[in-house]
Amino acid sequence: MDTDIMEFIDYMNSERKASRNTLVSYERDLHQMAEYMYGRGIADVSKVTKTALNSYILFLEKSGKAASTVSRVMASMRAFFHYELRESRIRKDPTELLKTPRVEKKIPSILTVEEVESLLEQPGDSTPKELRDKAMLELLYATGLRVSELVGLLVDDVNLPIGFVTCRDGYKQRTVPFGRTAKQALDRYLNHSRELLVKDRDTPYLFVNCSGSPMSRQGFWKIIKHYGEKAGIDTEITPHTLRHSFAAHLIGGGADLQAVQTMLGHSDMTTTQAYVGYIKAQDPIRKAYREAHPRK
C-alpha cells in the first residue's frame, strides 16, 4: 500500500501541481490510514472496503480527533482511492458512500481597525530590526498573505514602483497589490535596514533575522506576539489574525468578494464567505454604538 501512496503523491506533485502543504497532508494522512489497515491484516489497496474505512474513521473520532481533522483525512482518502480507481487498481471506490462529519465553521479571530492601527504603530524606526518588523507587519496587513508566503518572499518578488508582490504556494502563484503605507515601510527597510541585517551573507530572501538568515515562521510569530502585547491587545494574535483582519476589513469596506478571494488565494469561495458572517454580526453592534455613544 505504501508504494501506491507514494505513486499517488508523485502524481499529485507532477501532474496536478498540488501545493507543498497539500502533499504533506496527503502523505501523512494516507500513511496513518495504511498503518491502521496493516494492523488489521489489510496490506493491499484492493482489499480496503467501506467497512474498513468506516472503522478507521470511528477510531479517529474515538481518539479525540476534531471533526475538521477527520474531514481532512477523508478528503485525502477520497483523492487517493479515486486515483487508484482511475489507474484500474481497484474495481470500486470504497470512499464513494462515506459520510463526511459536519464541521462547524468558526468565525475567525479578527481585530478591529483600531487594534490593527495600534499594532502597526508599535515598531519604532531607530534600529534595523524595528524597520524590518514594521515592514513585515505593514505588508502582511496590506496583502493578507499567509505567513509561509510572507517569510518565503524574495527581494525580486516585490515591485515597489507599481506596488505589488508575487507570492507562491507550491506551483501556484498570485500577484497581490499593496498601498502607500506598506510601500513606504518596505522602502525604508530595503534602503536602511536589510543590508545591515544580511551583513556578509548572500540571500535572495526579502526578510531576514538578526543573524542574516531567512526569517522563519516561528520567528515572525514571536515578533507579532511581542507587538500585540506591547499594544495592549487582549486577543491572542498570530500572523493569521492579520490575514483574517485584512479580509474582513476589505469586505466590510465594500470590496468585491471574488477580488478578496483572489487576493487571499482561496480555491473555494465558501472559505472567503466566512468573513461575511463576521461583518453581518458586527453591523447591529456598530449601529447601536454610533446611535448611542456620546463620543461616536
Q: What residue ranges define each of the domains in the chain, with the CATH number in brackets?
A: 2-86 (1.10.150.130), 113-292 (1.10.443.10)
What is residue 279's predicted lDDT score, i.e. its pLDDT?
58
Residues linked to residue 175 through DSSP beta bridges, in sequence order: 166
Residue 107 has pLDDT above 50, yes or no: yes
Give the distance, in angstroms, between the CA of residue 227 and the centroid of all CA atoms in the same chain.
Answer: 21
Beta carbons of 8 and 30 less than 8 angstroms apart? yes
| Mean pLDDT to the nearest integer, 127-139 | 96
| Mean pLDDT to the nearest integer, 269-287 | 56
Interval 200-251: pLDDT, tens = 788 999 999 999 999 998 999 999 999 999 999 988 888 888 888 888 888 8
What is residue 263's predicted lDDT score, i.e. its pLDDT?
83
Residues linked to residue 158 through DSSP beta bridges, in sequence order: 165
